[in-house]
């Protein structure tokens, strides 16, 4: 078994948890077999003193399937 790890930045207008979930949801559209997520960094964009975008840098791990490129 070989696992591949990719780095995504999920975003949300609401909170950090949703930013992570959005990254996972987006990845799962084209990747089966996601096994886990490591959160690397949280950050946020602000406008007029308010957070307008929550961001989560995540590493997503998934099993590479037979016959699939890495």
Task: Give the length of the chain.
Answer: 70
Under rule CB under 8 A, residue 65 binds a second copy: no
Rounded CA separation 15/55 (Å) = 8
Rounded CA separation 67/22 (Å) = 28
Residue window 9-38: x/- pattern of binding to a second copy, with contact defined by CB under 8 A: xxx---xxx--xxxxxxxxxxxx--xxxxx
User: Do residues 70 and 31 lie in contact, with contact meaning Cβ atoms separated by under 8 Å?
Assistant: no
Under rule CB under 8 A, residue 3 binds a second copy: yes
Under rule CB under 8 A, residue 41 binds a second copy: yes
Binding residues for a second copy (CB under 8 A): 1-11, 15-17, 20-31, 34-39, 41-46, 48-51, 54, 57, 59-61, 64, 68-70
């Amino acid at each position: 078994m070989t696992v591949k790890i990719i780095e995504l930045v999920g975003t949300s207008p609401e909170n950090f948890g949703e930013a992570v979930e959005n990254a996972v949801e987006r990845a799962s559209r084209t990747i089966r077999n996601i096994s886990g997520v490591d959160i690397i960094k949280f950050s946020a964009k602000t406008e007029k003193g308010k957070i307008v975008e929550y961001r989560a840098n995540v590493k997503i791990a998934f099993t590479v399937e037979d016959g699939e490129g890495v």
